[in-house]
Amino acid sequence: MRRPGLTYPRLLRLVAGSAEPPFQALLGAFFILERWGRGPELQAALEQALARALQQRLREEAAELSEALGRLHYQRGDYVQACNAWSEALELTDDQTRWACLARIGLAQLCFALGDWARGGRMLDQAERHYPRLIDDAYLRAKIGLNRAVSLRATQGPQAAMARLEKARAAAREVGHRDYEAEAMWHYARCARDSAAAEEALSLATQAEDLARRSHYPWLLAQVLLLLSELRAGAEAVPPAQEALALGEALQSRSVQALAHGRLGQLMAEQGQLGPSWHHQQQRQRLEAALALLGQTELPARLEQLARFDVEPPPEVSPGSRAEAAQEARALLAVLERMGERPEGTDQKAALGEAITRARQLVDRLG
C-alpha cells in the first residue's frame, strides 16, 4: 500500500514466470493494478486461478479470488456478475474471515447503487460484527468508514457523514493508503457542496484532484473531475468533464461515462452547441438504460436470494434472563457431573438425551 510502484515489478515476476502463479502474488498484483485502473488486465488470470482453487478444494483461496473478481465486475458496472462473485465468496468462507468482510462491503455498495440504504447499512454492520480482527485492520476500517459516510450523507445529510470521514481518513493514514485519503477528501468536498459552501467545496475538490493524480487513482480522479466541472462555470467546466469521460472509457465504467456524457450534454446546451449536446445526451441515456435494466431485473432478485447473509443481530438478553440462564447452566452442569461420576457400563442414554435437550434450549435462549 505504501510503495505499490516498487512492489508491482516483483509480484509481476512471480506471476509472469509461472503457468500456475502463486495465488497471493496474483492477488497482490491485481490489488495494485486495480488502483491504477488496469484491473481487467488480470481478469483471465484470476478466473483461471479461481477454477484451479476450486478444483483443488482450496476454499479460502477461492473465496479471496471470488472477492477480487467481484470488485473488478463492480467497477465496470457489471453488477449482477459482481453480486454473483461476492455471494460465492461468502458461500466459500466462514463469516469471521477477511474475505467475508470484504464481500459484505461489496454487497453493501450494490445495495447503495440500488438506493436500498437500509439493507446496505445492515451489510456493513455484518461486515464489522463478524470480522474479529477489524480493530487491527486499518485498511478495512477505512473502507467501511468511507462506505458508511456515503450512506450517512445520503440518508442523514452532510454533517452526519463528517465524523465518519475523519475516522476513515485516520485509518487510511495509519495503513499508508493514500488512495483512501484522497477519496475521503473528495467526500469532504461533496459534503461542503451539499452544505452550500461552494468556495470550500472547490478548494477541497482541488486538493482531492492533486491527491488522486499523485496516487495514480483514475476512478477517483474521474469522480473528482466531475465534481470540479459541476463547481465551475462556462468554458472552465468543459475540460474536467472531457477528461472524466476519457477516464471512464479507459476504465470501462458505464456509470462514470454516463455522468460525464450528462455533464457535457448540459454544458454544450448552455453554449448553444445543440448537435454535440444531443450526442452526449443520447450516449448518457444509452448507458443509463443499460444500468437501469440491470437494476430493475436481475440484480434485485439476486440480492433477495442473499437474505441469508443479511441477518439481524441477536436480541439483547436482559439481566434477569441472564440470571435465569446462569441458574439453568448450573443445573445442567450438575447433571453432567453426576453422569461423569457413574460407574462404567451404566446406561446413560436417557440422562444424556435430557441434558442435550436442556443444553439446546439454553443455547436458543442465549441466541
What is the pLDDT at residue 320?
58
| % of the chain residues with pLDDT over 70 | 84
Assign 296 a pLDDT band (cuts: 50, 70, 90). low
Condensed to tens digits (0 to 9), the pLDDT of residues 108-150 reads 998 888 888 888 999 999 999 999 999 999 999 999 999 999 9
Whose cell is 467497477? That residue is: 75
Condensed to tens digits (0 to 9), the pLDDT of residues 227-259 reads 999 999 889 999 999 999 999 999 888 889 999
What is the pLDDT at residue 19?
82
Q: Which residue has the higher pLDDT, 334 or 237?
A: 237
What is the pLDDT at residue 102?
96
Assign 366 a pLDDT band (cuts: 50, 70, 90). low
| pLDDT(305) > 70 | no
| pLDDT(317) > 70 | no
Assign 338 a pLDDT band (cuts: 50, 70, 90). confident
- In single-letter form, the type of residue at position 317 comes to V
Mean pLDDT of 209-228: 94
| pLDDT(223) > 90 | yes
Q: How far apart are CA 248 and CA 266, in angstroms?
A: 18
- Residue 177 CA neighbour count, 13 Å, CB half: 22
| pLDDT(310) > 60 | no
Cα separations in angstroms, 90 against 45, 55, 68, 168: 21, 18, 12, 25
**Per this entry, what is the length of the chain?**
367
Assign 37 a pLDDT band (cuts: 50, 70, 90). confident
What is the pLDDT at residue 167?
92
Q: How far apart are CA 2 and CA 169, in angstroms?
A: 15
Q: Estimate the crossing angle of helix 298-305 against helix 79-92, to 10 degrees.
A: 10
Condensed to tens digits (0 to 9), the pLDDT of residues 64-115 reads 999 999 999 988 878 888 989 999 999 999 989 999 999 999 999 988 888 8
Q: How far apart are CA 36 and CA 181, in angstroms?
A: 15
Assign 1 a pLDDT band (cuts: 50, 70, 90). confident
What is the pLDDT at residue 186?
96
What is the pLDDT at residue 321?
61
Contact 29, 15 (CB under 8 A): yes
| pLDDT(58) > 80 | yes
| pLDDT(308) > 60 | no
**Which of 245, 247, 271, 269 is CA-nearest to residue 258?**
245
* Average pLDDT over the chain, rounded to an integer: 86
